[in-house]
Structure 1
């Protein structure tokens, strides 16, 4: 199957494609904007029964003998655009940036919205024995991460490999929020699926921090060699707020405060750095001045740098807030 050129509307993405649009004389001259470096197609998964909108950006140069690096981006409807434009733009000046041509694959849904809240809550949250009180009261279905990963591994990766020559030893996974949770779940349960894991503002709070149970099992696993694998954990400095009140119903005790995003992310990074399980290298960055929404955008920049090997820009050790 061939990917079709991407068409999308709205001022949200004009910052990324301003060189590809022109000023119209009147409203009747406006057209849907096109992202010239990318294609998309909708595919239905046998593993999940869900239809996904897959976005792909391929370098306009011949691949090296070993193939191109590839980064898979969750919440592709919104995050594919900045990541693909960053990789494309920065690789044009690779002597200065250190970023080489790479393939970007976005995994999204057939919707005009930025996020499909219902579908992503099901696909990006881990299966757990008890899903009765996960902390997410809006999502009717949760816990489908393993089915989603079966789709990625068994259906999507082979499709991408037919489209472009991929280096199977240079594959990254990047996700924000629930996407960050899915990234951690993948590392802890299928650690050899990717070599680079980038979790931005991961929803560690989900289901009473169930992901930490998976962390413990990952730590105790045997016969794993992750000496060539890297993990970047990021969180916005404004994602936590004031300390939690003793009374959970006290005024001002918002979900941001209850979820303790900064503490949870920093503590996880510290544990992984100290234990270095199976040779895994873990890096951490507190994005000062960013909230949960803005950390998604700044995290995209950091994700591209980390994906392409710029680990020197990140903290080798967790620093205190």
Structure 2
């Protein structure tokens, strides 16, 4: 059993965020609960709830998600999870030009507000270890947040981050990192990158994908060279679409301190 507490955030980027704080029933055995901050909560929180994973009883979950149809959510994600342009403002998504992008600084402030609201509801969470988790575009946002280190995050979890997005932008942002923190990278063994988006590829699908696992290993080495405690978790047999469920469960375990 658990308690789901809705939290109200002001809209940003022209759309609202659906925020929930999930607290397990009962008191933790020792100290405050760790906090797993979930991006794309409209998908990731139900995955965890349906899993019945025992770690759900050992973790507080702060879910930031969206409401609306899939096309709307896709556009919201492209805006919220991507780094700003050279002038610090918005620009277009490289693969789908009609999508606005570059809203990650505003999204960082939304995460900060959500954490503050959660800590207001459950003051013990002010002493908690906080993990931030995202997949794909949301994984790119996790790396952007790491590059800024302006949030009270102790542990960054990025699953299949969209490193291709205006490459080499995120690599440049990760060149001068601050204090060492734990970073866990999760990737599917069968993932590939495609130069065309699924929308642009049309009904025939995409071909000639480039395996992404070597790039994930490069990311791990890059972060380790910056002094981060960077780990790579390879999910066997998983392509990009299958990573979300496996990686979200693994992120819960890692947020709770599993090796």
User: Does the pair score TM above 0.5?
Assistant: yes
Q: How does 1:236-315 map to 2 (within 5 A)?
A: 236-240=188-192, 254=206, 257-258=209-210, 260-273=211-224, 275-277=225-227, 280-311=228-259
CA distance in 1, matches of 2:2, 2:96: 39
For residues 42-64 of structure 1, give each alpha carbon's deviation from its aligned partner in whole angstroms, at most 9, with x where no partner exists: 73426545311112210111256
- Pick which of 70-79 and 55-64 moved more: 55-64
Q: How many residues align?
A: 247
Q: Give the equivalent residue in structure 1 for 2:54.
A: 90
Q: 1:284 to 1:256 in 2, by over 3 A?
A: farther
Query: How far 1:256 moved relative to its partner?
Result: 7.0
Match 2:95 to one of 127, 133, 136: 136
Distance, in Å, in 2 between the alignment partners of 1:111 and 1:61 is 33
The one of the two structures with greater contact order (alpha-carbon pairs below 8 A, sep at least 6) is 2
From the CA coordinates, give the structure whose radius of gyration is larger. 1
The CA deviation string for residues 294-315 of structure 1, in whole angstroms up to 9 with x for no partner, is: 011111121112111223xxxx
Kindly tell me: are residues 253 and 214 of structure 1, through their superposed partners in 2, closer, same or farther at Cα, counting changes over 3 Å?
farther
TM-aligned CA distance change 1:158 to 1:150, over 3 Å: same
| Alignment TM-score, normalising by the size of structure 1 | 0.68
Runs of 4+ in 1 over 6 A off after TM superposition: none
- Higher mean Cα deviation, 125-134 or 65-74? 125-134
Q: Once superposed, what is the RMSD of the aligned Cα atoms?
A: 2.9
Unaligned runs of 5+ in 2: 195-203
Q: Which residue does the alignment assign to 1:156?
A: 114
Alignment partners' CA distance in 1, 2:14 and 2:183: 30
Matching of residue 230 in structure 1 with residue 185 in structure 2: no
CA contact (8 A) 1:66 1:166 kept: no
Does the CA-based 8 Å contact 1:83-1:104 persist in structure 2? no
Q: Deviations over 1:176-220 (max 9, x none)?
A: 0011000111111116521111100000000123111101132xx
Contact 1:199–1:234 (Cα < 8 Å) also in 2? yes
Distance 1:142 1:189 in 2: 18
Give, in whole Å, the separation in 1 of the partners of 2:18 and 2:118.
13
User: What's the secondary structure of 1:72's corresponding residue?
Assistant: strand
- CA drift of 1:169 comes to 4.3
Within a 5 Å distance, the mapping from 1:1-321 to structure 2 comes to 37-39=2-4, 41=6, 43-45=8-10, 48-63=13-28, 66-84=31-49, 86=51, 89-91=53-55, 101-111=58-68, 113=70, 116-129=73-86, 134-137=93-96, 139-153=98-112, 155-164=113-122, 165-190=124-149, 193-218=152-177, 224-226=178-180, 229-240=181-192, 254=206, 257-258=209-210, 260-273=211-224, 275-277=225-227, 280-311=228-259
Secondary structure of the 1:211 match is helix
The structural deviation recorded for 1:65 is: 7.0
